[in-house]
Amino acid sequence: MIKLCFNFKDIFRAGRLGFSFKKMSASMIGLILLTVIYNIFAYAALMVRGDSLSKIWTLHRLAPVPLGISMPWYAWIIWAVGALISWLILSITISAVSKITFEQLRGDEFYEVSKAYKDSLKLWKSSFLSPIILALFIAFLFAIGVLFGLIGKIAVAGPWFVGLLSAFLFLGAFFIVYLILVWIVSLLTSPTISVVTNGDSFDTLFEVFSVANEQTWRFVLWQFLVGGIMTAGVFLYSMAMKYTLMLFKTAMDIPTGQVWWQQTWNFARSTLPSLPSIIPPQIYNIFSKIFPGSVQIWQTQNLPGIGPMVGGIILAVFLYLVMLSILSLKLSIFSVGQTLIYVVLVKIKDDRNLLETKKKWSIDDEDEDIEEQEEKEKSDEEEKDTTEENKS
How far apart CA 175 and CA 211 sit, in angstroms, is: 17
Question: Taking 70 as the threshold, does the pLDDT of residue 232 lie above it?
Answer: yes
| Short-list 357, 383, 366, 384, CA closest to 118 | 366
Distance, CA of 11 to chain centre? 19
Instruction: Report the percentage of the chain scoring pLDDT > 70.
Output: 83
Query: Which range (78-87, 101-110, 159-168, 191-200) has the least confidence?
Result: 159-168
Residue 29: is its pLDDT beyond 90? yes
pLDDT (average), residues 321-336: 94
Q: Which residues contact 255 (CB under 8 A, 6 or more apart)?
A: none
Q: Across all residues in the chain, what is the average pLDDT?
A: 85
Whole-number pLDDT of residue 294: 58
Mean pLDDT (whole number) for 283-307: 64
Report yes or no: 348 and 215 within 8 Å, Cβ to Cβ: yes
Give mean pLDDT, residues 33-53.
92
Q: Which residue has the higher pLDDT, 160 or 8?
A: 8
Q: Give me the sign of the Cα torsion angle 361, 362, 365, 371.
A: positive
Say which residue, 75 or 385, is predicted with more confidence.
Answer: 75
Question: Residues 164, 216: contact at Cβ < 8 Å?
Answer: no
Nearest to 216 by CA among 266, 163, 178, 251: 178
For 291-362, where are the alpha helices, taking DSSP H only? 306-350
* Domains of the chain, residue spans: 8-365
Answer for the pair 321, 31: CB distance below 8 angstroms, yes or no: no
3 state SS of 64:
coil
* Per-residue confidence band for 365, with pLDDT thresholds at 50, 70 and 90: low
pLDDT at 85: 96
If you write DSSP's letter for every residue of 113-133 in order, what string do you get?
HHHHHHHHHHTHHHHHHHHHH
Q: What percent of the chain has pLDDT over 90?
A: 52
pLDDT at 364 over 60: no
Helical ranges in the chain per DSSP H = 13-18, 21-49, 53-60, 73-105, 113-122, 124-151, 157-164, 166-197, 201-214, 216-253, 259-269, 281-290, 306-350, 363-391
Between residues 383 and 91, the one the model is more confident about: 91
Q: What is the mean pLDDT of residues 27-44?
A: 94
Question: What is the tens place of the pLDDT at every residue in 200-229?
Answer: 889 999 999 999 999 999 999 999 999 999
Average pLDDT over residues 367-389: 61
Average the pLDDT over 270-277 and give the result: 71
Top mean-pLDDT range of 45-49, 165-169, 295-299, 337-341: 337-341
Residue 280 above 70 pLDDT? Answer: no
